[in-house]
Amino acid sequence: MTENISKEIHLKNRPEGLPTENDFELAQVAIPEISEGQVLVQNIYMSVDPYMRGRMYDRKSYVPPFQIGKPLEGGCVGRVIESKSGAFKVGDYVLSMLGWREYFVSDGEGLTKIDPAMAPLQAYLGVVGMTGMTAYVGLLHIGELKEGQTVFVSAAAGAVGSVVCQIAKLKGCFVVGSAGSDEKVSWLMEEAGIDAAFNYKTADDVIAEVGRHFPKGIDVYFENVGGVHLEAALEHMNANGRIVMCGMISMYNDIKPVPGPVRLPYIISKKLTMKGFIVMDHFDKLGLFITDMGKWIVEGKIKWKETIVDGIENAPQAFIGLFKGENSGKMIVKIGPEST
């Protein structure tokens, strides 16, 4: 700790379109002394996630908007460095939603102890954390995936998509993913072991490309992106197929609403189910997720990638990078040391 000062990132402006670094401000704040029942936590890894873009608008949603001049929030792994609490001791590793800052004082509410022996610390923000759980709940519970089905995944090399692809393979499905670089496509086929993948940025016609990969049609589409990917899925869905509406990142920076999708009438003629979900509503499945994911990881059946950016001052850049495909797997920012 430098002279009891914590660096944190504040929201400076509500971004218009793609955020820029000018929409964020690096602030330095004094760290208060802890009182009885409190702990001081030093953050180590913080998550940047696409949903945070939604919290930058001043509008009602399932989470409140970020406030101008206040620190942003988000998933974070830290270590207790001072404690006057019976529930936490110095050296405990904790998961919280108080990211985007180096240190914070807490009375323990919203802190969850995590075990560094179970998984690398940063994995609690990804494959064994929120994004892994999103893939699990979305595919198996919302998508009601069945063995042997055909599955299309967009943003397939990202944090959620890469886990969706591999769970679908574990369930004996035929899986095709779309991603934004040849390197990501190679990883999906060679490491994640899916049946096919393509680079949507170099494909002449994404809708035709998806059709070429699915001669027997798509049973489950896992939607992370929106736009032409959703059009392609609707075009090639099989009757009674399911579309899991997880995210639509291609639209998060739109300044004006974009009309569409034009193929929505297929929902009727093909009798499709299109269902949205928010992972935080499904914490009742946390135990199931941890059991299954823990087993798959121990058996070497799930692989994952992380893109780790160093330094809290680079967190805005890492966040903006999500919208440019700069991450492979989970985008994480390292903002403190793992141990003293």
CB of 232 or CB of 331, closer to ligand NAP? 331
Residues 6+ apart with CB under 8 A from 255: 16, 17
Question: Which of the ranges 19-27, 75-83, 109-117, 275-283 carries the binding residues for ligand NAP, by CB under 6 A?
Answer: 275-283
HEC per residue, 29-89: EECCCCCCCCEEEEEEEEECCCHHHHCCCCCCCCCCCCCECCECCECEEEEEEEECCCCCC
Near ligand NAP by CB under 6 A: residue from 11, 121, 249, 272: 249
Question: Which of the ranges 9-17, 174-182, 233-241, 283-291 carries the binding residues for ligand NAP, by CB under 6 A?
Answer: 174-182
CB of 56 or CB of 157, closer to ligand NAP? 157
Report if residue 277 touches ligand NAP, rule: CB under 6 A. Answer: yes
Partnered with residue 243 across adjacent β-strands are: 221, 274
Distance CA 214, CA 19 (A): 36
Per the listing, tokens 């180096």 go with 102
Distance CA 244, CA 232 (A): 14
Residue 3-42 contact track with ligand NAP, rule CB under 6 A, x = bound: ----------------------------------------
**SS3 (DSSP) at 302:** coil
Residue 76-115 contact track with ligand NAP, rule CB under 6 A, x = bound: ----------------------------------------
Distance CA 249, CA 258 (A): 13
Report if residue 155 touches ligand NAP, rule: CB under 6 A. Answer: yes
Cβ at position 278, least distance to ligand NAP in Å: 4
Contact criterion met (CB below 8 Å) for 79 and 91? yes
Report if residue 224 touches ligand NAP, rule: CB under 6 A. Answer: yes
Number of residues that bind ligand NAP (CB under 6 A): 30
Strands 93-96 and 330-334: unpaired
Near ligand NAP by CB under 6 A: residue from 21, 25, 27, 51: 51
CB of 108 or CB of 325, closer to ligand NAP? 325
Q: What backbone torsions phi and psi does residue 249 show, to the nearest 5 degrees?
A: -60, -30
Closest CA to 17 of 322, 318, 255: 255
Cβ at position 17, least distance to ligand NAP in Å: 12
CB of 148 or CB of 260, closer to ligand NAP? 260
Give the footprint of ligand NAP on this chain (CB under 6 A). Answer: 49-51, 131, 134, 155, 157-161, 179-181, 184, 224-225, 246-250, 277-279, 322-323, 325, 327, 331
